[in-house]
Amino acid sequence: MTDVPVSSRATQPHLDRKAPPPLPEGGLRVMALGGLGEIGRNMAVLEFDGKLLVIDCGVLFPEADQRGIDLILPDLGVIEHRLDDIAAVVLTHGHEDHIGAIPYLLRMRGDIPLVGSRFTLALVRAKLREHRLDPTSVEVAGGDDHLAGPFRCEFIAVNHSIPDALAVAVHTPAGTLVHTGDFKMDQLPLDGVLTDLGAFARLGAEGIDLLLSDSTNAEVPGFVTSERAIGHVLDDVFDRATQRLIVSSFASHVHRIQQVLDSAETHRRKVAFVGRSMVRNMGVARDLGLLRVAPGLMVSLDEATAMPPEQVVLVSTGSQGEPLSALGRMARGDHHQVTIEAGDTVVLASSLVPGNETAVYKVINGLARLGATVVHKDTARVHVSGHAPAGELRTLLNVAKPRYLMPVHGEWRHLRAHAALAEETGMARERVILAENGIVVDLLDGKAAIVGSVPVGDVYVDGLNVGDVGEESLQERRILGDEGFVALTVVVEPSTGTIVRPVHLSARGFADDPAVFDEALRLVEENLRRTLEDGETDPHRLSQVIRRTIGKWVSDTYRRRPMIIPTVLEV
């Protein structure tokens, strides 16, 4: 069937929901506030001798049923009372799901030192400027050591879909923990930076007590295709394109963009960046020497649109179908500068992040409808993943030889597949720790074990609102979004038991024609009058009459259950 054992039979220690005991002296505690049981908001908190070390602090993007939500943060409330104990935040790389929540953490304590690579810190600084925050930072590179409180952090270069990614080995008297961050093992990386297997092997020989390793692609068999392979595909697309060419990708994928620039140079097309984050990040990458730009290659979008279409390539955001992105607007035919013509070529040189399928195909269909040739991951190899698949995860396990493995960065299916891979390589089942967010793992006397859990919630960012929108509001949005509402207001005179003003109805999202409610309104008034005649004037009871009457009518007539909001006002 496949070379990937899809799951393991590891037992279910994660169902243990008791509060953890105090951390014993000499023990190292590990807890994830995000990234376990989900893809995103990666954040691990380590504790030793009263001090905390945070590894990554990212955001999670909402699912379709978390309506109106912009971002989901790790539950920082768990460490709120211990902010002064944080020795540092180590950042493995500059993706949003690893750095996106930093502004919210720094708002709570602005001088927490951030430790990361040059490109990572440059992206973080650009982000923090928008939040008017100026961080304290320490720049490190693969091979560097940095002491943060009792944590000696040793950094290891890894290869990922963004330059300058790092893994980190954290040495404490309790033992050594290694966190891979996100990684893969491209053996022909464009920038020559390989995942440093030698360092993992040396650490393995010295003894890794607990390995936290990226599980995102644990279900995918084999080994990653080199990023370099995409260059040939892009060249082929450039060869065939006779009109305008637009390439869309992630705004942080410097290597992918580099290949577009290289193809453009070869094919004598000028390049314009489109989209705020693309312009910003590629500026940073260029300043740091990570993006090589041939002299005269770049033009502004204004210049590009004035040139013959066959002489330019636009490099754009919007590869995830974002409706407000440049590409989203082009697909609907309402971009103010770029109009898609029959015969144009658009390349979506990116993965399709789960949950974005509908939006992405909507963009592809919009472009196809306008006559563009759309090249995307279903039709050509214009993307390779940034995460190690099964073959590479096995390799790392065999090289690093950890005593314990805790799969991280994955939904349950990925964590369990990673556990199965570990068992295959010979790890005993009880040495694989399957945990989810909030589960507390202690490393003590060379043994790692789940000791309890702390409750962690979802912190929603909703406009400027951080944390005020909770599950209750979301549940209301689900009902309102699926069913609409019917609000009925009546003014009564309690002393005489009479209705002063006829029942006023507002309904939204229920039926286009408000006349459907005529019959229902008659019923409500009739029932209200009868109740009042019986001497009942309590507004709460009258509200119940309204709710029951309209609820039954809607259910009988339409088999629907809109939200019903009765209001009884007394004069």
- Report the site for a second copy in 364-403 (rule: CB under 8 A): 364-366, 368-376, 378-381
Find the length of the chain: 571
- DSSP one-letter string for 241-265: --S-EEEE--TT-HHHHHHHHHHHH
Q: How far is the CB of 146 from a second copy (least distance, A)?
A: 36
CB of 468 closer than 8 Å to CB of 59: no
Q: Which residue type, as a one-letter code, is found at position 33?
A: L
Structural tokens at position 486: 């019917």
State the catalytic residue, choosing from 164, 214, 262, 458.
214
Considering only 211, 299, 474, 542, the residue that binds a second copy (CB under 8 A) is 474
Q: Which of 279, 487, 499, 521 binds a second copy (CB under 8 A)?
A: 487
Residue 95, annotated as binding a ligand:
yes
Burial of 21 (0-12, 13-18, 19+ CB in 10 A): exposed
Total binding residues toward a second copy, as defined by CB under 8 A:
94
Q: What is the DSSP pairing of strand 51-55 with strand 43-48?
A: antiparallel
Calpha distance 205→221 (Å, rounded): 27
Using the rule CB under 8 A, which residue among 109, 504, 530, 552 binds a second copy?
Answer: 504
- Number of continuous H segments (helices) and E segments (strands) in the chain: 15, 25
Q: How far is CA 111 from the centre of its chain?
A: 26
Q: How far is the CB of 302 from a second copy (least distance, A)?
A: 27
Q: Is 239 a catalytic residue?
A: no
What's the CA gap between 274 and 294, in Å, rounded? 18
Least distance to a second copy, CB of residue 548, Å: 18
Region 212-251 residues binding a second copy, contact defined as CB under 8 A: 219-220, 233, 236-237
Q: Which of 297, 444, 521, 563 binds a second copy (CB under 8 A)?
A: 563
Which residues between 529 and 558 bind a second copy (CB under 8 A)?
557-558
Of residues 382 and 397, the one with the C-beta less far from a second copy: 382
- Taking phi over 0 as left and psi of -120 to 50 as alpha, with beta for the rest, 78 belongs to alpha
DSSP lists the bridge partners of residue 168 as 155, 179
- CB 418, min distance to a second copy, A: 11
Q: Does 495 bind a second copy (CB under 8 A)?
A: no
List the interface residues with a second copy, window 57-96 (CB under 8 A).
63-64, 67-68
Site string for a second copy, 259-288 (x = CB under 8 A): ------------------------------
* 409 is known to lie in a ligand binding site: yes
Which one of 171, 387, 414, 418 is the catalytic residue? 387
| Cross-strand partners of 501 | 491
Restricting to residues 342-361, name those near a second copy by CB under 8 A.
342-343, 354-355, 357-358, 361
Task: Report in angstroms how near the CB of residue 138 gets to a second copy at its nearest.
Answer: 34
Q: Which stretch binds a second copy (CB under 8 A): 100-108, 111-119, 391-399, 487-495?
A: 487-495
Nearest CA to 215 among 431, 4, 63? 4
Shorter beta-carbon distance to a second copy: residue 37 or 135: 37
Q: Tell the smallest beta-carbon distance from residue 128 to a second copy (Å).
A: 19
Q: Which two tokens stand for residue 115?
A: 């430790």
Cβ-contact 564, 484 below 8 angstroms:
no
Catalytic residue check, 214: yes
Tell me which residues in 396-455 interact with a second copy (CB under 8 A): 411-413, 415-417, 436
Sign for the CA dihedral angle at 328, 334, 336, 341 comes to positive
CA distance 472 to 354: 26
Alpha-carbon distance of 102 to 124, in angstroms, equals: 8
User: Rounded to an integer, what distance in angstroms lies between the CA atom of residue 276 and that of residue 130?
Assistant: 13
The secondary structure of 342-353 as a DSSP string is TT-EEEE-S---
Tell me whether residue 168 or residue 568 sits nearer to a second copy (CB atom): 568
Residue (189 or 407) nearer to a second copy, CB: 407
Considering only 449, 470, 522, 533, the residue that binds a second copy (CB under 8 A) is 470
What is d(CA 77, CA 474) in angstroms, rounded to the nearest whole number? 20
Binding site residues, as ranges?
A: 68, 70, 93, 95, 97-98, 160, 182, 251-253, 383-387, 409, 462
Which residues belong to the active site? 214, 387
Binding site residues for Ca(2+), as ranges?
A: 68, 70, 462
Binding site residues for substrate, as ranges?
A: 251-253, 383-387
